[in-house]
Structure 1
Amino acid sequence: MLSDEIQPSDDLPRKACVITYPGKNGDEWWKSENLINQIINRAIPIFKACFPGYQALFVFDNATSHAIFSPDALIANYMNLGPAGKQEKLCSRSYFREGIGYDKDMIFSSDYHILELHREAKGLREVLREKGL
């Protein structure tokens, strides 16, 4: 609920709750994207209006929201064991080991010694090998 000092406006929703009526002639089934939109477009603006200067922590226990990842997220299940093939070309990653930061390219460079692998995805085996695992 908005505090008495907060004046509702057209760009500030009154409630974070979203009611859907899924079915053949109704709304689409609730998906992870709906949850993200609800938080970004409703819950966060309301929180910021009610508690300026504070930071919120939203916690979810919803099995379908556990599978939300960035399209280029580093997920081993989405990678081939070997190079190239039908796997996404992931963007570079940064990681820390013993307090030192490293950048990790997830595709072979254009000057890699095997011509067929230029600009191809490395695959899980190569990524682990390069990390010394």
Structure 2
Amino acid sequence: MDVVINLLIWVHVVAFIAGGSNSVVGPVIGARMATATAEQRSGYFGVMNTLSQVGKVAMAALLITGPLIMFMKYGGLGSASFWFWIKMALVVVMLAAIIYGGIQFKKSQRGDAEAAKLADIAHKITGLAFLGVLLSAVFAFE
């Protein structure tokens, strides 16, 4: 059983890294959009669309492996610490920001400048929540 749990933790960490890369790359690309040429914008949109797909798979993996690890390794949520619940609250913030940002990003691809600004804000919120998730996980699973 330890091997299965360790593999689940490995998948969880890989998914966290893959999904978290969007939290770093998204704002960097978003900051360049305003001054980009049409050709550059098209390339940026392509990169962001690919990262979005990676992020969706990563989030699905996190949402599946997280509960499995909690129940298989810790026997459920009974021993979950305050920090664990902080982490989960920040995961909810991340999910909301990712969904909202994704909707706004799609609108921005159709030329909506206000949506581009909102998507950029959502990316920044996602990035801050991501850092909070990582920090609270360190304390939750010491």
Give the structure-1-normalised TM-score: 0.28
Higher relative contact order (CA 8 A, sep 6+): 2
Q: Is the strand fraction higher in 1 or 2?
A: 1
Q: Is the helix fraction higher in 1 or 2?
A: 2
